[in-house]
A and B are shown apart, each in its own frame.
Chain A
């Protein structure tokens, strides 16, 4: 199972929007509405931000949104804030009770 493809880094100024893509195949991202996104600050455990492609858990700001088209899922952070600077990972169900993560994207707030 190959890792999902994400850009290595994205950046934006405070208040701007950034979008992180997550590209897989029809066997994972494209085959299921089961993509989740995780935020990880340095030295910390990941925290889930989006599940089932576009659902936001309680406590996650509505600045975070998710979507999917075909084999590519996306995470958009609107109104970028300094505390959003972190690594972000997508994850998809890949069938047969297995999962695959993306390679991760570093978000830098300029």
Chain B
């Protein structure tokens, strides 16, 4: 069965960077986009962008352009999301999600809590 397993919680200081991983299994990794979505405490879901693991093409939400980088390692079926210049309002749970269909996200990782605090 499809599984997306994310790396563990992180605590970072303002200005630092964080890199979250998402290891995929149960399907052909290069066959579908991986999206990243975040959720601040008590808040809603926010789409951040996607990566095509086959072509390495990416597309980022305008809000995050210049600060986010999505990469992948096909040899280990893992996608990564790196966010730079962290601020306190980047404190959130970050999810990877599989774009199995064309316009929706049909499997989600368990989420990774990133806390930004001085």
Q: If A45-B108, A91-B104, A99-B35 touch, does A1 touch B61 (CB 8 Å cutoff)?
A: yes
Number of interface residues of A (CB under 8 A): 26
4 additional A-B pairs beyond A51-B101, A101-B47, beta carbons within 8 Å, are A1-B61, A51-B103, A98-B62, A102-B44
Are B62 and A97 in contact (CB-based, < 8 A)?
no
Are the C-beta atoms of A97 and B104 separated by less than 8 Å?
Answer: no
**Count of CB-CB pairs between chains A and B under 8 Å:** 65
Interfacial chain B residues near A48, Cβ < 8 Å: 104-106
A3 touches B44 (CB 8 A): yes
Are A100 and B50 interface neighbours, CB within 8 A?
no
Q: Interface residues of B, CB < 8 Å — how many? A: 23
Contact B103 A34 (CB under 8 A): yes
What CA separation (Å) do A38 and B104 show in the bound complex? 10
Q: Which of A40, A48, A103 has the most CB of B within 10 A?
A: A48
